[in-house]
Structures are given as structure tokens and as C-alpha cells.
Structure 1
């Protein structure tokens, strides 16, 4: 089985375009799918959606069940679990991470400048962040972070790699979620910069949401 199949079988299966392709991918991942108990009979291309759900269900729920039960047993040792169950609100701030509210300052400091910067473009970027914070944009701080990193808030352990910015001679911004990199356009005017940022971020997230809804629906 290939290295890609080990780490991203769900992605391979989800992108299959024919039943033949789907069966070929399943053959390649056979041992892995058998190990996690997700083998199923495939008769139509739409069967891939249920197969992907099975795989995700294993990794998100079944795989963590044993460690979770072990964690609960540890909490029972001194009666901590019973106290948590009796007073959940009191323990919420201790055990649960509360995402930090995003601001122009936080995002400006979060994204480091990558490669040789363009002074005017960086000025537009900072002005754009302030406009978003002031509600003068159709996007939000969370939208910008999702577009660049895939996350709507800053993880407790931070990002790896650190989010960065590139200034490129392109018409529209480009978000690279694999590298947490945001390429911002070099434009002549701030108006053009904001319109291009708003348009791209808004429509990209809308399309991603529609694709996600379609995927879940199947």
C-alpha cells in the first residue's frame, strides 16, 4: 500500500470519479480498510461517501475510545470525574480551551512576512485588517484565518508552520492551508485590494461550505 494511501485514503476515495477507480483505490487500501473494519461492498460510485464516513468515524470516534476511557478511569482515582460531572460549569474554564477573540492586531502579529515584502501591499493589508475589524468589509477575521489556514481560531498549541504572508503580482489572494501561507495581491489602489480580498475570500469559503454540505449529505 502506498504512503499516500496510508495517510489519506479518505481523500483518495472521495476524489474517485468512476466505480473502476474507486475499486482500484480500495484494492490498494485493502489491508488498511480491513484493519479498521471499514471494508464494504461497492456497487455504485455514490457508495464512496458512506465508505469515507466509516473511515472518519473510526479515526474520530472508535480510535480514541480506549484512550478516552483510560482518561476517565484516571479521573475517578481521587473522585475528580464525579466532581466534574456534578459541577461541569466550574471545570469548564480549566478543562476547555476558549478561543481568543481575533482582532486586527492579533492577525497582523500572527502572520509573519515571507520573502521580500512590498511596502504598499503590506500597508493595504494592515488597512484591510482594520476595515474588517471595524465592520467595513464583507468578510470577518475568522474568514481570513480560515482562508489562509483552515482554522477559525488560533489553536492552543499555535500553528505549525507559523502563518505567513507573501506579496505577489496576482489579481486575487491565494490561501495555502498546507503551509498556512496567505499570498496577498499587489494592487495600485486600496479599493482594488479590498474588493479583490473580499470577493475571493467570501466566494472561496462559500464554495467550500457548499462542497462540505454536499459531501455530508451523501
Structure 2
């Protein structure tokens, strides 16, 4: 496999240690799923119900159970059946458009592998054969693009659907859900940007009262806030009058506000309709899209186990995560190469700690991040829930090549051997930041 350099602008998951009885429970569960899991062509509602899932010992770690569920979903992809209809000609300046053209193709089949080919500025293939690395990078870039699209609104890691009637008419919300399903199951890229309310709506759970900070529209939020803050009936009625146009559109003027307690009813009715009711059509499309590859059925049957994949990450990527996941391959003991490799590996560990501490400064406003280091080596900014197909390894470069290299398909990171830590860290930092696309090292 040709070694390629890349930069992509990650959460590490360690498998929990299970007791023998817990392993037996897990194996029994997986056996039941294999005999009861739906056919790819069957209705998504045939996914096993929660009462079956509950048969596993409750002491089994939630993330471990999520891994079992995701494994079942990924196992439905026929890795041997590659087809040109699943080719994605990806342009880095239009990742969403590239995905849309591919995923809406009549013969596109989500149960077959993706064939991602990144295009350079001259519209020529970059030369990378998709054996996993390009797919992971593409899914990582696409998920970031999805998160930032105007069909979502709110803070970066707590997004709700935004209303766009034109997008509903074009079926764009369904396409968004389909893209998220494919990114998670094909590329191992979890969304990690759903607001808790959005996840509850996807599952069909009852939602909590609205915190007015969830409302992005500043004018409407301030109108509701004024109603909520009123301390007399007169102030409440004045605030209601000021918000009458907005409330009439939401159908909230029919509630009689005779007491101060009624004002909270008005506020909650209006806020919930704004965040939920008026988005029913968009939500139906979105959930339909998430049904791709059976993902929505799995979410609905196992919400408490899969929730962490959709909400904001609780545990950021650490230097120790990367130290643990990459296994160094040294030359034979006693050789000159081995001594220099052990020194270089020690420098690499120090380098990761310095990156974590924000000490690898590129300029006054930019420092290298651990996510960029991982993306350079694997195409992902976070460690995938199911881990990597191959054990990520570190190899060493003993030639005059000064910069790091990576094979993102096999997840191999090749470290240059230098004479000093300063020289090593400078070339590592420069090589990772300058390798903006697949290309020859």
C-alpha cells in the first residue's frame, strides 16, 4: 500500500472489562439479535424491542452495548459487493454536494461499500484507492458540513432542526438523516451535535419544558422572556400585547391569562410549538432518513444506550488515548535502528503531551490539536465507536525524509527519525498542518 500524507482538520473508547457472566449475557444477546435482526430490505420497525435488549445484565457498560448494536448494523454491509453506483467523486470545497449527488443516485445502495475518490483542483483523482481511509475522511468532513448547515440551528454541540419550507418541499431533511446514518455506519463518525430535545423527538420521547435559551430567534425569545418576567397581571397583559403578532401565528392567543401562573402556560405552549410543533413535517422527513440502514429502529429500541453517540462528547480526546491506540513496531533488539526508534517514539509521546497542553503553536491564534494528529493518521477526528478494522501502528522512517507520513486505510503513522526533539516536533507539526489532502509523501 502506498503511503500517503494527509491532514484533516476524535472520542476514544476503551472496551470495558467484563466478568465471565457478563460476557455470556452479551454472547446470548448477540445470538438473539442475529436470529431476530431484520433483513436489510424489511421494514425498520422489525428491530428487536427493548424488552429483548433488557435481558442483558444491566451491569454491562452502556457503551459496550452500543457497540453490539452498531456492530449488527455494520455487519449488514456487504463489503465484498462493490459497485460503481456507490462511487463518490468528492470535491473538498463541496462535500455536501458530492454526497447529495451520490446518495440520491437511483442505483445507490447503502448496503454496499462506498467508493470515495477525492478530486484535486484540476478535477483529477488524487490517486487514493478507497480501502477505508478515504471513506472515513469523507464521512468526517460530511458530518462537519451537516452540523453547520442552515437546516440546523443552535450552539455547535446542541443543535435543533431549523424550519425551511423550501427544504421540506425538496425532501432535504430526509437526505440529512440519510447522510448521518451513512456517516455513522459506514465511516464510524458519530454526530455528537444533537440537542437533548432533538434526540428525544427522534426517539419519540416526551420532551422537557423549554429553556428560553433554546430559542435562537432573538426577537421572539425576548418577547417570551418579557412575559415570563412579568410580576403583575398588568405587566403580563402588556407583554402579551407586544408579542401578539408572533403568538397569533403560533396559535397561543386562545389561552386566557387570568393569573400569573397562566403566563408560564402561555410561554411554554408558544415555545414548544416554535421548537417542535411547527417542525413536524421536517421531523418526519428527518426520522425517515435516519431509517437508512436500520439506524432509527435501533435508536428507538435502545435510546439510553445509543444516546451518547448523538449528544455532545463528554470525554475529549487525550494524549493518552492516542498513546494507547497506536502500537509501535520497532526494529530488532540491539540494532542501531531500534535505539533511534525508541528515542523517536519517546519524543512522539512527548509531542502528543505538548499538543494536548497547547504548546505546539502554529501562530498567535492557532495551535495544533490532537484531533488534527488523529485525522492525519486515520481520516477521523475522533476514535470510532467500533474501533479500527486494523490495529493502528507506528513505523519509523530512516531515510532523509523529514516529515511524517500516513496510510489512512491501514491506519499506519510513520515517524521521521531526527537528531533532536525540537527538529522532530517542528517537522511533525509542519507536516501534519501542510498535508491538506491525499497526496504522495
TM band (smaller chain): 0.5 to 0.7
Which secondary structure does the structure 1 equivalent of 2:383 belong to? Answer: coil
1:144/1:201 contact within 8 Å kept = yes
Residues 142 and 175 from structure 1, CA distance in 2 versus in 1: closer, same or farther, beyond 3 angstroms? same
Q: Determine which of 380, 386, 390 is the counterpart of 1:157.
A: 386
What residue is the counterpart of 1:61 in the other structure?
Answer: 178
Which consecutive unaligned segments of at least 5 residues does structure 1 have?
15-32, 38-44, 47-52, 66-74, 209-218
Distance (Å, rounded) in 1 between the aligned partners of 2:370 and 2:353: 10
Distance (Å, rounded) in 2 between the aligned partners of 1:62 and 1:134: 34
Work out which of the two has the higher radius of gyration on C-alpha atoms and give 1 or 2: 2
CA displacement at 1:60 relative to structure 2: 7.1
- TM-score when scaled to structure 1? 0.57
Residues 107 and 35 from structure 1, CA distance in 2 versus in 1: closer, same or farther, beyond 3 angstroms? closer
What residue is the counterpart of 2:324 in the other structure?
Answer: 109
CA displacement at 1:126 relative to structure 2: 1.1
Which range is displaced more, 176-185 or 116-125?
116-125
Tell whether 2:360 aligns with 1:137. Answer: yes
1:148/1:181 contact within 8 Å kept = yes
Distance (Å, rounded) in 2 between the aligned partners of 1:63 and 1:146: 19
Q: What number of residue pairs does the alignment pair up?
A: 158
What residue is the counterpart of 2:414 in the other structure?
Answer: 183
Distance (Å, rounded) in 2 between the aligned partners of 1:9 and 1:94: 29
Tell whether 2:221 aligns with 1:9. Answer: no
1:67-106 deviation digits (Å, cap 9, x = unpaired)? xxxxxxxx9xxxx6233x5589xx7885132363122222
CA RMSD in angstroms comes to: 4.2
1:99/1:153 contact within 8 Å kept = no
Residues 127 and 95 from structure 1, CA distance in 2 versus in 1: closer, same or farther, beyond 3 angstroms? same
Distance (Å, rounded) in 2 between the aligned partners of 1:192 and 1:63: 41
- TM-score when scaled to structure 2? 0.30
What residue is the counterpart of 2:10 in the other structure?
Answer: none
Residues 58 and 114 from structure 1, CA distance in 2 versus in 1: closer, same or farther, beyond 3 angstroms? farther
- Structure (1/2) with the larger helix percentage: 1
CA displacement at 1:7 relative to structure 2: 7.3
Which consecutive unaligned segments of at least 5 residues does structure 2 have?
1-80, 92-104, 110-121, 124-141, 143-173, 183-199, 211-302, 332-337, 362-367
Q: Determine which of 107, 128, 151 is the counterpart of 1:35.
A: 107
